[in-house]
Amino acid sequence: MEQFELAHIQRLFEVTDRMLPYARRERSTRVLEGAVLGNLFFEPSTRSRLSFGAAFNRLGGYVRETTGFAFSSMAKGESVYDTSRVVSGYMDILVVRHPEEGAVAEFAAAINVPVINGGDGPGEHPTQALLDLYTLCRERGLHPGGLGGMRIAVVGDLRYGRTVHSLTKLLALESGLTFVCVAPEELQIPDELVLKLRQQGHTVELTDNLAEGIRDVDVIYATRVQQERLPQGSTVAANGDRFRIDAALYDKVCRPGTVLMHPLPRDSRGGASELADDLNSRPELAIFRQTDNGIPVRMALFALVLDVADQVADTDREARWYRPERFGVLDTRDILS
């Protein structure tokens, strides 16, 4: 995440905008015809894996995958250096997901094909932060660099949740934001992050009162509290509902049009998630637009890294197939009559 400057984000999102018709299946391209992605998932993350793979396919490329914890050769004592060097000889580009912080960088160090970090444990998950920021910009009709003065509530586990850390690093490139950090004391945002944001000219407010925290903001970014991260005997578990936003609370305290975001998954066990299901039909609920945007953002990254962003239109044509406009179960009569 530290590699990105504002100009990079602007360039990336400009290309992302151009990817939308391909991601939405209105047009098709084969600009990456013959290219092969190695989609290497050393820890399970079904949706990230599918999203990276589908994004590469939409550019006309092929995808080869692994999903186990390690390569069979690693079980025989092979070093990361050898493994990454070998597999890079088969592929044009790699996505690597790994449970250990730094493992992706180690994988990338030995080789001369590009490596995209698909998440490295408590480290970074850069494409998540990028799709979050892209969504936030689109929801507000703004461009990166133009979010100045925005008030953003981040809610939930702000101590251990890597998505919030990565996103705030990106947002810090904007000027004069206000971050309202809403969390129980045990899970508040780390002091050094608060200090850094303030040094960068942003306002940071801390509270454990949900209704107060989300009252007067433009965007709420809610996150999941992972019970296994909490100290034993914590009062948070017992009071999980204190950080849960439902339609009644939203209507009572939020400014009209407040955007609702969440990195997903929402934890729906016990019938209640951080953003309650009764918000599902609200137009302000941007959570599925976030995941939808993962495709064009990842397409743009692939296209830029492989240097074909300006050639996409060369092989472009209207997609032949069906673009669904209805929700619900299709009836055979719609198709076969």
Nearer to a second copy, 254 or 312 (CB): 312
Should residue 34 be labelled a site residue for a second copy when binding is judged by CB under 8 A? yes
Nearer to a second copy, 256 or 270 (CB): 270
Identify residues 295-324 at the interface with a second copy (CB under 8 A): 295, 304-308, 311, 314, 319-322, 324
The CA-to-CA distance between both ends of the chain, in Å, stands at 52
Of 167-175, 176-184, 197-205, 273-281, the window that binds a second copy (rule: CB under 8 A) is 273-281
Q: How far is the CB of 33 from a second copy (least distance, A)?
A: 6
Identify residues 121-180 at the interface with a second copy (CB under 8 A): none
Should residue 25 be labelled a site residue for a second copy when binding is judged by CB under 8 A? yes
Should residue 22 be labelled a site residue for a second copy when binding is judged by CB under 8 A? yes
Q: Per the structure block, which two tokens stand in for 53? A: 């793979």
Should residue 256 be labelled a site residue for a second copy when binding is judged by CB under 8 A? no
Residue 78 contacts residue 69 (beta carbons within 8 Å): no
Interaxial angle between packed helices 6-23 and 126-140, expressed in degrees from 0 to 180 and rounded to the nearest 10? 80
Nearer to a second copy, 74 or 204 (CB): 74
Identify residues 209-228 at the interface with a second copy (CB under 8 A): 224
Q: How far is the CB of 144 from a second copy (least distance, A)?
A: 12
Taking the C-alpha atoms of residue 267 and residue 156, their distance in angstroms, rounded to an integer, is 12
Q: Are strands 27-28 and 317-318 parallel, antiparallel or unpaired?
A: antiparallel
Of 43-51, 173-181, 191-199, 202-210, the window that binds a second copy (rule: CB under 8 A) is 43-51
Should residue 63 be labelled a site residue for a second copy when binding is judged by CB under 8 A? yes
Nearer to a second copy, 46 or 232 (CB): 46
Should residue 5 be labelled a site residue for a second copy when binding is judged by CB under 8 A? yes
Q: How many CB atoms lie within 10 A of CB 15?
A: 19
Should residue 245 be labelled a site residue for a second copy when binding is judged by CB under 8 A? no
Ranges of H-type helices in the chain: 6-23, 46-58, 72-75, 80-88, 103-109, 126-140, 162-171, 191-199, 210-213, 235-238, 247-253, 287-305, 332-336
Stretch (H or E) spanning 98: strand 93-98
